[in-house]
Chains A and B, each alone.
Chain A
């Protein structure tokens, strides 16, 4: 069942919701204005905490708890909105902005006020040129309307929001690499601890949230915690904008409450509309390229953080890639790991060298169809040498496709080796 009211894709069917005036007419920016006048930052943090809102970037960490990690009394603080959306299969941030950039800006502004920050940055994937322009315009309109700048609405609160476009690196979606990049340095992850909430951008306390996460905030504050929690599940409240792609009839972004079964997303005519040509499901990657694979037997898995984890994978960014039996597992693993190899920053040995080696072997097997006697044990040991040993999650993510492929479809590798 489609939602009666969308949270992230608010006013989904309003054709001109991307117009500032239209967004204002449906109540846009009012929550922010009211919050600035009537609510303390602490109260807002508490509401976000109580709402159970979880970070949509992939880890699903409770947003309010994260905000609570800011050390007391240390200023300036920064808010970073992560719009580096680069995970294969993930494309909701772009559409959220395309449809309605104002809600994102309002979410950023409201969250900035909640964490007592006066400078927020939106880090955009470099390729999102049109989305960046939309945001720039939305920001300009917000300044013009007095929602940004100095002494906003006479409350004494100051806030500036800046757009920064990346230069084409997946790793810059990793929060600390994003900060390095924003500071003008090479986009590579930083050592943690210290965590960004304590020492982030320019060494100052920093909160970093995904576009989709922040887009939730105005509605939570507007409609209240109870209303928000009436969506989704106990532990995964609210809705999620799932990006479904692959061999389905209607790939796209669908906002659903957490907990909807995977089967419904794939098969419902309201959503992906079933498999292309009615072919059987072979591989489901439920949370972007970094997530372990599921198969047809997991179709009844509820799409929430706990459900997908119980099935042995992760909800991640909610990017569901569904592949049918026309694909070969080694080839899928090759394509996925080719991506990670291309995006490996090079900082740590296992990721830099491991992805390189994996792809060498997988390319030979999948593309050239040539396997060697030791290939399968070698592939196993390469990913094992990477697993748990990389500097950041990029290298760990690269393990998933090959590990899943080898575990779920060993016979396809054996067939190549046998020739």
Chain B
């Protein structure tokens, strides 16, 4: 947009044409008060708070040139009425007056009107102290009310709009921000209006009420205390709170948040602005799902098993026991008899030290961050290798961007992406959603591609084929291999054959390929359903990104939605059996989680250290293995099923009780700070690892420390290792001195990571603190006055986006294709473990979301239900090659035939008992009672 020059209150400056008057004035540092206007939503001009005087230069009718007065100044024709600034776009020469008597009279008038119906119960209102109505009244309002107090309207209050949000109708000024947020941004049209005039009121239209994963945001953008959360209501006065910047680890988005603390108690969680990550929003899981931090059942002291019960112990005692036992196993049976699992929500510092402890002090590569469940799947390397490049910022994207979301359900796997992708579309990006079933994101798609069940690989190959046909291969600038094999594979089938196998019209395939090819920026996001199709699919999607030229540059590349808040960190930092930090492949791989349980059961693995994962909850094999093992250490927040089977239980500090960094799905490293002292005697994970490592170092010296590092081979030699697709070409000739175990703070660990892991170079705590450009939602020009109580300004750093591995030039991309996974099972249906935001995550305990957790159900299509004579609510049994389970059936109108969907992660419905791998074929039987 070209700039135009405007004059606001006598000051002239330039702003982009088309900007509305409120935003334009703000750019010049002049505040125009607003209530209904919100910069993230189209203006509606309802509240009339932003009335200003607007004038345009008078034009000579003949020449269309501005008329000049005697002083050579343009003659200004003022509009006859005041205009709402939010709905008036600026144009060249526009004159705006925000402080004339007329404007002030109108502004004061609107505020007086709003206050006539307002209960003025600020002393008991949660919004008090961060309330735009309070602030605007102080700044622009009348000093006192002339309205007779006895004439005030009274309503029953509060009215629950759902489990989470309460409405105080007396305080509501009917700005409709909440309704519009739900309609336009969240795509959950669950709020609406009822009645009219002074009785106009917000209501929830959905059943269950206010069914949206983003409902908490409405309380932020509510400019008064009308919407409050059940979570924070009457908990504290906002001026008593101190905000501690944190990162949400409940999903891979890595939303920036603030833990609002009163002394040592968590009062609420609020979003913290980061344009590149969560903008100013937070999903309800992030906002309400952090009550686990203060849950009464948190472990508070180390526990040592004595027979069939635990006895509290000192850290010294517990850690010594752990060190001695591990040392004993190590010296008797070697490092391969010890294994460790660490949750993909632990911080980078924890994960890095965990693998160092195992590799350097215990000589073990039996490391993983997976659960060891049959559907673990392969480690996702492409999301790192072809990650969106350094400098990526979704906020900057719009027209010219093509996004392909493949086999993912962002609303459930990474809720905030739903908002971000919708915003992208609203700014002009093209969104293609490819899935075998309906997802909420699909409704926002420019084009939806509903591939047939099992047709995803054919679709991906059809797309690759289309690109190859168009000569895309000649334009690849990256180091690559295997192109001929890829070409041979995809050309083996005609476009028509592939389209038929995918169940997608050829024209749609061409349209998507074209959109990716022509895009200035291309993003390919994939989730659990895509990953369950195996690396054959993921790597074909990778080839798609490469062939369409959408890798190795900012705002382009792959985004993998992986479980947990830091799977990417775990992959980057080597908590895996096959690679050291930085994807340095190991010649001798350890056991992946999946093979761990049989190895332990058979006595090959004798000691296990499990940090933050609970395999025993759902995996019979794991229970068996834990029983068989000689020594089990569990490091946890809670007495989990796995912890119950441990010999030593170590209480870990939660995310809010320690500093740490986390790497999100876009490979942005962000720092979270300690908001309070660790619960009880709990300690940060990194510290526990370090303490044991130190003891081990004092106790024993491994014969060949760092043996793996010296053995690291250049890329070509590591041919057999398939998991890490990108292969390191850097030959480690002289391993650096192993660092000592004397970190005082996690930033020293981070500094070491920055030094030793190439792609994390420069990611120090100091660098992470940089905030870059001030946020769009920042506090310039008196903005606190309007936006108080909403998202927090980010003064604690917006994180550092790592370069994609491919752009470092140290990796070669292999395009050589894998064969499609062979299905030997003849059972008619495909089992889909549906990832759910409110699934069985144990971290949701103690939160209001517990009431919204998914209920066990077996979801089937209409046509399969008819075929099997199954009605909603019937008891049905799923039978696979390895087991069966039963639950109530739910018939879903929009599920394709051939698919059985079961909520993943529910403790009462252990899918792992029937799973045969990432993909399980099943049959369905109606249980006749």
The residues of A with any CB-CB pair to B shorter than 8 Å are 169, 171, 186, 191, 341-350, 352-357, 360, 374, 378, 381, 384-386, 388-391
Contacts and interface: CB of A to CB of B under 8 A. Distances in A.
B655 to A, nearest CB: 43
A360 B106 CA distance: 21
B116 A357 contact: yes
A86 to B, nearest CB: 14
A345 B148 CA distance: 23
For B43, B80, B151, which residue has the most chain A Cβ atoms within 10 angstroms? B151
Count chain A CB atoms within 10 A of each CB in B44, B49, B196 and give the residue with the most. B196
Given A186-B192, A389-B106, A390-B48, A354 B197 contact: no
Contact of B198 (A356, A378, A391): A356
Contacts of A171: 196
Contacts of A353: 113-114, 116-117, 198
Contact of B197 (A356, A381, A389): A356
B896 interface: no
Contacts of B49: 349
A388 B81 contact: yes
Contacts of A388: 80-82
Interface string B54-97: 00000000000000000000000000111000010000000000
A388 B110 CA distance: 12
B146 A352 contact: no
Interface in B712-760: none
Given A344-B198, A350-B113, A352-B200, A191 B87 contact: yes
B136 to A, nearest CB: 12
B45 interface: yes
A384 B198 contact: no
Given A353-B117, A357-B113, A384 B105 contact: yes
A343 B199 CA distance: 11
B193 interface: yes
Interface in B166-207: 173-174, 192-193, 195-200
A34 B80 CA distance: 46
Contacts of B81: 388-389
A350 B110 contact: yes
B191 to A, nearest CB: 12
B46 interface: yes
Contact of A389 (B80, B110, B174): B110
14 contacts: A169-B196, A191-B43, A191-B45, A341-B198, A342-B197, A346-B195, A346-B197, A347-B200, A349-B49, A353-B198, A355-B197, A385-B113, A388-B82, A391-B46
B112 interface: yes
A349 B196 contact: no
A412 B77 CA distance: 40
B193 A186 contact: yes
> What secondary structure prevails in chain A residues at the interface with B?
helix
A191 B37 CA distance: 13
Contacts of A344: 196-198
B51 to A, nearest CB: 6
Contacts of B117: 353, 356
A342 B45 CA distance: 22
B778 interface: no
B334 interface: no
B147 interface: yes
Contacts of A343: 196-197
Contacts of A360: 148, 151
B46 A347 contact: yes
A354 B43 CA distance: 22
Given A348-B47, A391-B48, 14 more contacts: A171-B196, A191-B43, A191-B45, A348-B48, A352-B200, A353-B117, A357-B116, A357-B147, A357-B151, A360-B148, A381-B109, A389-B48, A389-B82, A389-B106
Interface of B: 43-49, 51, 80-82, 87, 105-106, 109-110, 112-114, 116-117, 146-148, 151, 153, 173-174, 192-193, 195-200
A249 B47 CA distance: 45
Nearest to B49: A349
B600 to A, nearest CB: 62
A169 B146 CA distance: 31
Contact of A352 (B112, B148, B198): B198
Contacts of B174: 346-347, 349, 352
A345 B174 CA distance: 11
Contacts of B110: 349-350, 385, 389
Contacts of A341: 197-198
Contact of A350 (B80, B109, B173, B196): B109
A352 B109 CA distance: 13
Most chain A CB neighbours (cut-off 10 Å) among B49, B106, B109, B110: B109
* In the A-B complex, the 6 residue pairs with the closest CB atoms: A385-B109, A346-B200, A353-B113, A344-B197, A388-B81, A356-B198
Contacts of B148: 360
Contacts of B114: 349, 353
B737 to A, nearest CB: 68
A364 to B, nearest CB: 9
A385 B106 contact: yes
Contacts of A349: 46-49, 110, 113-114, 173-174
B411 to A, nearest CB: 25
A389 B48 CA distance: 7
A350 B45 CA distance: 12
B118 to A, nearest CB: 10
Nearest to A347: B46
B101 to A, nearest CB: 12
A389 B116 CA distance: 17
B48 A350 contact: yes
A349 B47 CA distance: 5
A374 B147 CA distance: 11
A214 B192 CA distance: 35
Contacts of B147: 357
B586 to A, nearest CB: 60
A344 B199 CA distance: 10
B197 A391 contact: no
Contacts of A350: 48, 109-110, 113
A192 to B, nearest CB: 9
Nearest to B45: A191
B727 to A, nearest CB: 54
A191 B44 contact: yes
Contacts of A384: 105, 109
B285 to A, nearest CB: 31
Given A341-B197, A342-B197, A350-B109, A389 B51 contact: yes
Contacts of A342: 197
A23 to B, nearest CB: 39
Contacts of A385: 105-106, 109-110, 112-113
Nearest to A187: B196
B96 to A, nearest CB: 17
Contact of A348 (B46, B106, B109, B151): B46
Contacts of B198: 341, 344, 346, 352-353, 356
B902 to A, nearest CB: 37
B108 to A, nearest CB: 8
Contacts of A354: 113
B196 A345 contact: yes
Q: Which of A341, A352, A353, A354 has the most CB of B within 10 A?
A: A353
A368 to B, nearest CB: 13
Query: In the complex, which of the residues B112, B174, B198 has the most CB atoms of chain A within 10 Å of its own CB atom?
Result: B198
A185 B360 CA distance: 67
A347 B110 CA distance: 13
Nearest to B81: A388
A349 to B, nearest CB: 5
Contacts of B146: 374, 378
Nearest to A346: B200
B340 to A, nearest CB: 58
B198 to A, nearest CB: 5
Nearest to A341: B197
Contacts of A347: 46, 174, 200
